[in-house]
Amino acid sequence: METTLWVIAGVLALLFLAAGLMKISQPREKLAASGMAWAEDFSPRSVKAIGAVEVLGALGLIIPAAFGITPALAAWAALGLAATMLGAAAVHLRRKEAKALPVALVLLVLAAVVAWGRFGPYAL
C-alpha cells in the first residue's frame, strides 16, 4: 500500500503542478479561452492564488515525505488539495459544467486516499 500511495501522490503532484503553473503563468482571459471557462467567475488574483495553492500542494505531497522533513505535511497537503477539489466541484456544479465535474471528483477522491493513508495506517 505504501507504494500505491507514493504512485498516487506522484501522479497528483504532476497534475497539480502542471495545472497550478498554467494558472500562475497565463492570463485569466487566456485560461478561459482555452476551456477553463470558470476562470471568468474569478478575479485574476484569485486565479493566480488557486494556481499557487495547487503548486504548493503538489510540492507538499512529495518533498516533506521524500526528505523526511516533517513528513506529516504530506498528509496536510493531500487534505488541502482534496478541499481545493471540493471547491472546484462546487464551482463546476454551480456552472452546470458536467464534463469537468468527474475530473474534479476523481482528483478529490485520490487526494483523500493519500490523506487517509498518510494520516492513518501508512503515516510516514
Yes or no: say if 35 and 91 are a contact pair by the CB < 8 Å rule.
Answer: no
Look at residue 102 and tell me if it is in a domain: yes
Q: How far apart are CA 86 and CA 68, in angstroms?
A: 28
Reported as a pLDDT band with limits 50, 70 and 90, residue 124 is low
The whole-chain average pLDDT of the chain stands at 93
Whether residue 30 is contained in a domain is answered as yes
**pLDDT for 93:** 94
Q: How far apart are CA 124 and CA 117, in angstroms?
A: 9
Q: Measured between alpha carbons, how far is 81 from 83 in angstroms, rounded to an integer?
A: 5
Residues 6 or more apart from 25 whose CB is under 8 A from it?
Answer: none
**Interatomic CA distance for residues 23 and 118, integer angstroms:** 28
66, three cell numbers: 521524500
Place of cell 486565479: 47
Q: Is residue 124 part of a domain?
A: no
Please report which confidence band the pLDDT of residue 69 belongs to, taking 50, 70 and 90 as the band edges: confident
* Residue 87, pLDDT score: 96
Supply the range of the domain harboring residue 83.
2-119
What sign for the dihedral angle of Cα 55, 61, 65, 69? positive
Residue 29 lies in a domain: yes
**Residue with grid cell 493531500, as numbered in its chain:** 78
Per-residue pLDDT tens over the stretch 99-119: 889 999 999 999 999 999 989
8, part of any domain: yes
Q: How many domains does the chain have?
A: 1
d(CA 21, CA 56): 10
pLDDT at residue 55, rounded to an integer: 98
The pTM of this model reads: 0.90
